[in-house]
Structure 1
Amino acid sequence: MSCKHPVPNPSRAVLVLGLIASSIAPIASAQDAQPQGPAAVEQTVVVTGTRSLNRRTLDSESPVDVIGSKELLSTGSGELATVLSRLLPSMNFPRPSGADASDAVRPAQLRGLSPDQTLVLVNGKRRHTSSVVNVNGTLGRGSAPVDLNAIPLAAIERIEVLRDGAAAQYGSDAIAGVVNIILKRGAEGGEAEVVYGQYDKGDGEQATVRASTGVKLGDDGWLRVAVEAADRNFTNRSFADPRPAAGPRQGTITQRYGDPDSRPRTLFVNSQVRINDDIDWYAFANYGKRKTSSAANFRTAFTNDSQTTLRSPLYPEGFLPLLDSTSTDASIVTGLRGELAGWRWDASLNHGRNRFELDVANTVNYSLGATSPTRFYAGELTSTQSLANLDIAREFPVSFMKGPLTVALGLEARHESYEIGAGEANSYFGTGAQGYSGFRSDDAGKNSRNNKSAYLNLEGDITDQLSGAFALRHERYSDFGNTTSAKASARYKFTPEFALRGTVSNGFRAPSLAQSYYTITTTNTLLVNGTSALVETGTFPVGSAAATLLGAQPLKAEKARNFSIGAQWQPTRNWTTTVDLYRIDIDDRIVFSSNLQLANAPALGSALANRGVYVGAARYFTNAVDTRTKGVDVVSTYRLNLAGGSRADLTLAYNHNDNDVERVAASPAVLSEQKLLLVDRQTVNRLTVGSPKDKLSLSGDYTQGAWGGRAAVTRYGKFTVPQNDASLDQTYDPQWVLDLSASVRFASQWRLTAGIDNVTNRYPAQVTSRSNLNVNGTQPYSVWAPNGFNGRYYYLKAGYTW
């Protein structure tokens, strides 16, 4: 089975570049006629993807986006993943609803790849992943990535996004790229902000308080503290329930379909102390809790339209189960860095943990009848990571090179664990708690592994025009063996205004412990013979007896090959444009198998039942797919200095992305004999057409004295929600979204901002009834929509700086 799409035409990039030039050229002429303002666009010194001391964004061999704190606070959203998806065309962040734990920990994609194929760093140190596995019908199905929304905007100085494979530099997960979050530093200054917002429908109220300040530690040290707390009420875009089975609730809104109710509280600290002239001690840490309440599907009052049998005497009018979760996220990194005999060195310890606890409320266990509790503890998931790093680097003069050669060496040891804690017995007894059956005692357990790695990195300016870099990394995992990655990159400056850059690398992503050991049995909504139905579904680890019976094999690492070539053009001091073409080949990609519906394979169902496993469907993780991703990124920025000291900063950013499946593994014989597919059409097409192929962002920031304004328009390209029956696919047309805001400073330290996100109140097209994915018309919008489906959002901000 394969799914092919046209190869991206490089002429598209040339066309877009030409449009940029033609549209900005008149502005450039006006700029040249104006008195020159203070400066050209500044080029930030980056630390991501390089070990050199003074590598600027414009000099880098790989594309790096730098997003400052001002840009991060430029929208009405307080969620980091939402903000990044609006600022980065290559990032996609849909909003799952009714997807169990994925409602509380929502995954983000870079370049249309899996969320766990992007590495996240904080201050250059590897961030631990979430314990939640996305197992339902969402984008990113089967992944357990870093929870970006656990990191508050108040703590961030800037974010560097490396849009290139970097496994040879950073290890596992860096296939799509690297997101490096740089925390605020220093003892001087501070800021506080209060934000209030609400959706046009009158729901989804949000109130946020955030602050950051610093204090001195002795004569040569500082401590920076950032706090953030928010109350975000749920939204509901469901329609009235037309089903006779809804009983007395027929014709009313029974579902809750939209953003969950969320209450995050977060503390971040960042510190540094000078011990002597050669050594600094540093540490940064966080602790946060986020309570979330999301809704499952409404359980109707009657089992069928004849209204003959009550489902539960406790809820004669039906009930809406609620999933109440608490995600606790904590980490600490501490180390020493300094210089010895010309070598820069950094030795650090890093520990992080994410714990996800789940209760199911407003529900019943049918098997317990009228004596059933209405609230159950469903269990918990815990993911931990501990690392020790030693990095050293030094510049060496080389006779044939224009500049020094930077030589960097490093060692790393990492320990990871993943633990499932069982829920109370009543949560999984019999039919289990409706909405989310708890983790069973047989599911509970803790698994771990170790990893050791070493790396070498070389980079420098070979001539005035040519720079290059080479990286090599070797890793040994205790569970699947060795892997070696390499990366070579170069940049050639043809003129002071124009340069070409390119990279080639191979990489890998180790199967996560969650993918190896996650197990649960829940009631899921599946399409059965074209009709949605609640089916008891088992998720089994590949080493379990159940998965082995269904043909599962031990997981192995994904293998990637990355290629990119790009052009950098800076025709004037204030205008910079980059165009980067890329290709990413991934072999043995880990995907979630199709939902193996055992009603169609009674022999397998009986075999599982003989082992004490009673489910209507089963699934497991498998290395079953090879994929190829091709695309282009275009970023153009222009600073226009106007009369009277006013200024306009203009940005155009564009991403086109094609994902193809090159190979699908054959189904194991035990499945083929029962006419079951290991990887079905829907699984394949989720990878290829589920996220937008194009995304265009146009933004402008205007400053005139104390006044400021921002306008941003984003075009989200078309995407398709696939089904196994091609006639049930639904393709969504491109959507334009406009965001506006205005601000004013007064009394030198105060700032007021008013804004509207989604000014024109755009919604995605409604889900058609033919697939029944709209749950009889009660859930009208797709959870795959890249801009969500909440509509227009109004907000006010009041900030104070010192």
Structure 2
Amino acid sequence: MSCKYTTANPGRAVLVLSLIASALPVQAQEASGVSADAQTVVVTGTRSLNRRTLDSESPVDVISGKDLHSTGSGELATVLGRLLPSMNFPRPSGADASDAVRPAQLRGLSPDQTLVLVNGKRRHTSAVVNVNGTLGRGSAPVDLNAIPLAAIDHIEVLRDGAAAQYGSDAIAGVVNIILKKGADGGDVEGTWGKYDAGDGEQHTVRGSAGFRLGDAGLVRVAVEGADRNPTNRAGPDPRASAGPRRNQVNQRLGDPESHPRTVFVNSQYTLNENIDWYAFANYGERKTSAAATWRLAGNTPIFPEGFLPLEDSKSSDASLVTGLRGDLAGWRWDASVNFGRNRFQLNVDNTVNYALGAASPTNFYAGKLIQTQEVANLDVARDIPVTWLAGPLTVALGAEARYESYEIGAGEPNSYFGSGSQGFSGFRPENAGKNSRNNQSLYANFEADITKKLSGSFAVRHEHYSDFGDTSSAKASARYAFTPAFALRGTASNGFRAPSLAQQFYTITTTNFMIVGGENVAVETGTFPVGSRAALALGSQPLKPEKARNLSIGAQWQPTRNWTTTVDLYRIDIDDRIVFSSNVQLNGTSLRNALAAQGIFVGAARYFTNAVDTRTKGVDVVSTYRLNLQQGARADFTVAYNHNDNEVRHVAATPALLAAQGLVLADRQTVNRLTVGSPKDKLSLATDYTRGVWNGHATVTRYGKFTVPQNDPALDQTYDPQWVLDLSASVKLASNLRLTAGADNVTNRYPAQVTSAGNLNLNGINRYSGFAPNGFNGRFYYVKAAYAW
């Protein structure tokens, strides 16, 4: 099933929201929650020194540091999911490592189709591959929550394809995180919060401070630490097989226990009048304890009443970027090197290996994953006067070399011996190994004000990868101002996303729960690299890069300085999209025997494949206005809306080896998860009121309907739209001391519960779906105390 797009739907939405916007006063800005006005200079998507949000040829959201602290959450991805209508951040539970490293989506596309930059430099991705039945299945994106709010000055989000400007991954857009800098002043904040249900208590301390390096330099240090207790919304276990714990809450469904600790440093030093040295770095650890599926009573004498395996992980994240920049003969230049690494180590606790009987340990080291990136690049740019142009021609040229590696480390033998550790069977020696690749790229960018009303830009990029060859991309953009208050803008580009090393080489054999014959059963499942003998025996093909084509057209209207409205329509076609195949069930087929001949004994198998072509159509509408009131008070209002439709245009044929056994490589659930799994619509109405020492903030968000698909259409469940209200108020007790109290999800709204049909909710135990865009924890209260100097 696919969601068909009709132009009438976005048209009606644009009309309705334009009328709403005309009736509401809202602040001049380009995104929900953005505090910068239309005069803000942006650096994302342009090489010009003076490009503003007002005259940008592509939509750019600018999110201020104040806005990042406007909710009760301390997780960057959660905050962006609330501030940006085009971003979706669900909260899976019981999905192994995906509980600890949760992926975010931009414009309903895969999480790894959004490029993340820090200070304009490419951020390394996470080592975790999302391999369970969650949104973003098969992706290994950047871990946004590894970047602390304490270190961020503001964020620029380019909602447009930008592979020609930045390279692989920039299909849906670019998130550019700009760090705090400055040698003077500092801030510290403490937060306490708790859910209305009585669990999930959180404590966060964060702060930053600037210091001078002699007379010519500065360093800014930001630190953040948090303790977040788990939540649980599971229902009691009614099964007779639960033994003495029948009708008790045995499962844990909700947010995991989490303890992040992070430090970020941002520095620069002027060597002479033409050269500056800069460097920024971070190191962080996040320990997470997530629950697996409850194991029933009677299976081991160690836990005679049953047990809940816990996946205790430690994600270590480190990066260092350093370089020189300056001016030479009129050319601005920037030369840098970039190192990043994410290490994910997993232990399974409170569990056993059934094959070891009463002698089994209860704690196992299950292995590790390591993703590494090294980048060297050189950028040069110059503004060249051209007599027939209204402004100078900005010419930017660059070269980049990147090295990436992906490593799997085996767990201890007891973690994979026999049945393996329950909850997560460890990585085996045959899974372990390190793979790498390198690529080189050349790129150029040209932009100028052609006339006083018309501006344009053109970018081109060529890349060579050691593992799949060459690819080229280009982008053209233009903006025409019919009047000082009204302009049209548009872009056309092609792009690409290289298959990640994780998608090419991730491998493990473990127990997965899947629906078989309407029942939720445990199946030993093998995940195989596409080039392995096992995958080849199942018809795998070498992965190809995803190819994208982006088109957008938008209108900007600013009738007054305090009122700005933007409407942007877009279409994104992606061919050879990489997906994680369905869990191909091998029981009763000759293919199972073929794998057994290789010493591989599994009941199901899967691998990555270029299986689908998709088309994404949508519209972003943002209208903002600032109302200046008496006695220095002001009210800022924002209306922001996103409508997004995903359609699968083509599904690759199932390999003959599988088709002959009645099997399907990309099943209905795999395909429809791409089209209907995330909300079609998201509407945000935000109000911010300031008077003297008082400030109040209110946001109403409407999350549109979504569907959790199954292979049997009768088991699909569609969730109705949900309205969520967030409120907060703050007061300045002194010029540098502020207290804040607030509540997220004030009305304590929960999504509908998972239907019991087909045993999808495990007999009523797993009540809520991990696809829910606002989670399923309910009302959250919090207080903050912040001091700045």
TM-score bracket, normalised by the shorter chain, equals over 0.9
**Preserved contact between residue 4 and residue 645 of structure 2 (Cα < 8 Å):** no
Q: Displacement, 1:349?
A: 0.2
1:349 to 324, 337, 349: 337
Task: Map residues 363-382 of structure 1 onto 2, 5 A cutoff.
Answer: 363-382=351-370
Q: Is 1:416 equivalent to 2:412 in the alignment?
A: no
Which deviations, in whole Å up to 9, do the C-alpha atoms of 1:295-343 show, x marking residues without a partner? 0010010xxxxxxxx2001010000000000000000000000000000
Match of 2:170 in 1: 174
SS of 2:685's partner is: strand
* Identical positions, percent: 76
**d(CA) in 1 for partners of 2:205 and 2:731?**
19
**d(CA) in 2 for partners of 1:280 and 1:389?**
16
**Preserved contact between residue 195 and residue 201 of structure 2 (Cα < 8 Å):** yes
1:394 to 382, 386, 405: 382
Q: Displacement, 1:7?
A: 4.5
Q: Is 1:754 equivalent to 2:741 in the alignment?
A: yes
SS of 1:11's partner is: helix
Match of 1:105 in 2: 101
Count matched residues: 782
1:252 to 248, 252, 273: 248
Match of 1:122 in 2: 118
Match of 2:750 in 1: 763
Q: Displacement, 1:773?
A: 1.9
**d(CA) in 2 for partners of 1:789 and 1:40?**
32
Match of 1:328 in 2: 316
TM-score (norm 2): 0.98
**Preserved contact between residue 40 and residue 573 of structure 1 (Cα < 8 Å):** no
Q: Displacement, 1:20?
A: 2.8
Q: Is 1:281 equivalent to 2:277 in the alignment?
A: yes
- Which one-letter code corresponds to 1:433 in the other structure? S
Task: Map residues 182-221 of structure 1 onto 2, 5 A cutoff.
Answer: 182-221=178-217
Q: Is 1:476 equivalent to 2:472 in the alignment?
A: no
- Which one-letter code corresponds to 1:778 in the other structure? I
Q: Is 1:451 equivalent to 2:439 in the alignment?
A: yes
Q: Displacement, 1:746?
A: 1.4
2:512 to 524, 529, 533: 524
**d(CA) in 2 for partners of 1:397 and 1:143?**
45
Which deviations, in whole Å up to 9, do the C-alpha atoms of 1:134-192 show, x marking residues without a partner? 00000000000000000000000000000000000000000000000000011011100
**d(CA) in 2 for partners of 1:5 and 1:580?**
16
Q: Displacement, 1:573?
A: 1.0
Which deviations, in whole Å up to 9, do the C-alpha atoms of 1:715-769 show, x marking residues without a partner? 0000000000000000000000000000000121100000000000000000000
**d(CA) in 2 for partners of 1:653 and 1:438?**
45
**d(CA) in 1 for partners of 2:143 and 2:570?**
26
**Preserved contact between residue 41 and residue 639 of structure 1 (Cα < 8 Å):** no
Task: Map residues 581-596 of structure 1 onto 2, 5 A cutoff.
Answer: 581-596=569-584
Which deviations, in whole Å up to 9, do the C-alpha atoms of 1:226-282 show, x marking residues without a partner? 000000000000111000000000010000110000000000000000000000000
Task: Map residues 64-75 of structure 1 onto 2, 5 A cutoff.
Answer: 64-75=60-71
**d(CA) in 2 for partners of 1:569 and 1:18?**
11
Task: Map residues 570-581 of structure 1 onto 2, 5 A cutoff.
Answer: 570-581=558-569
SS of 1:57's partner is: coil
**d(CA) in 1 for partners of 2:758 and 2:58?**
43
SS of 2:24's partner is: helix
Q: Displacement, 1:50?
A: 0.1
TM-score (norm 1): 0.97
Q: Displacement, 1:602?
A: 2.0
**Preserved contact between residue 543 and residue 553 of structure 1 (Cα < 8 Å):** yes
**d(CA) in 1 for partners of 2:714 and 2:418?**
37
**d(CA) in 1 for partners of 2:6 and 2:14?**
17
Q: Is 1:261 equivalent to 2:247 in the alignment?
A: no
**Preserved contact between residue 3 and residue 684 of structure 1 (Cα < 8 Å):** no
CA 456–163 in structure 1, closer or farther in 2 if over 3 Å, else same? same
- Which one-letter code corresponds to 1:376 in the other structure? F
**Preserved contact between residue 418 and residue 514 of structure 1 (Cα < 8 Å):** yes
Q: Is 1:462 equivalent to 2:458 in the alignment?
A: no
SS of 1:784's partner is: coil
Match of 1:307 in 2: none
Match of 1:304 in 2: none
SS of 1:139's partner is: coil
CA 14–273 in structure 1, closer or farther in 2 if over 3 Å, else same? same
- Which one-letter code corresponds to 1:51 in the other structure? R
Match of 1:33 in 2: none
**Preserved contact between residue 455 and residue 473 of structure 1 (Cα < 8 Å):** yes
- Which one-letter code corresponds to 1:238 in the other structure? A
Q: Is 1:16 equivalent to 2:16 in the alignment?
A: yes
**d(CA) in 2 for partners of 1:127 and 1:147?**
9
**d(CA) in 2 for partners of 1:51 and 1:218?**
31
1:738 to 725, 735, 744: 725
**Preserved contact between residue 10 and residue 643 of structure 2 (Cα < 8 Å):** no
- Which one-letter code corresponds to 1:71 in the other structure? D
Q: Displacement, 1:21?
A: 4.0
Match of 2:778 in 1: 791
- Which one-letter code corresponds to 1:518 in the other structure? Y
Match of 2:30 in 1: none
**Preserved contact between residue 268 and residue 287 of structure 1 (Cα < 8 Å):** yes
**Preserved contact between residue 153 and residue 179 of structure 2 (Cα < 8 Å):** yes
**d(CA) in 1 for partners of 2:53 and 2:223?**
30
Q: Is 1:646 equivalent to 2:633 in the alignment?
A: yes
> Which segment is superposed worse, 154-163 or 766-775?
766-775
Q: Is 1:227 equivalent to 2:223 in the alignment?
A: yes
- Which one-letter code corresponds to 1:6 in the other structure? T
Q: Which runs of 4+ in 1 moved over 6 A?
A: none
Match of 2:31 in 1: none
Q: Displacement, 1:400?
A: 1.2
CA 671–511 in structure 1, closer or farther in 2 if over 3 Å, else same? same
**d(CA) in 2 for partners of 1:283 and 1:349?**
10
**d(CA) in 1 for partners of 2:36 and 2:188?**
30
> Which segment is superposed worse, 535-544 or 771-780?
771-780
SS of 2:696's partner is: strand
**Preserved contact between residue 7 and residue 658 of structure 1 (Cα < 8 Å):** no
Match of 2:767 in 1: 780
**d(CA) in 2 for partners of 1:575 and 1:613?**
64
Match of 1:161 in 2: 157
Unmatched segments (≥5 aa) in structure 1: 29-38, 302-309
Q: Displacement, 1:5?
A: 4.2
**Preserved contact between residue 94 and residue 787 of structure 1 (Cα < 8 Å):** yes
2:532 to 544, 547, 551: 544
Match of 1:295 in 2: 291
**d(CA) in 2 for partners of 1:124 and 1:20?**
36
Match of 1:405 in 2: 393
**Preserved contact between residue 320 and residue 338 of structure 2 (Cα < 8 Å):** yes
**d(CA) in 2 for partners of 1:163 and 1:267?**
29
Match of 1:150 in 2: 146
Q: Displacement, 1:3?
A: 5.7
Q: Displacement, 1:4?
A: 3.6
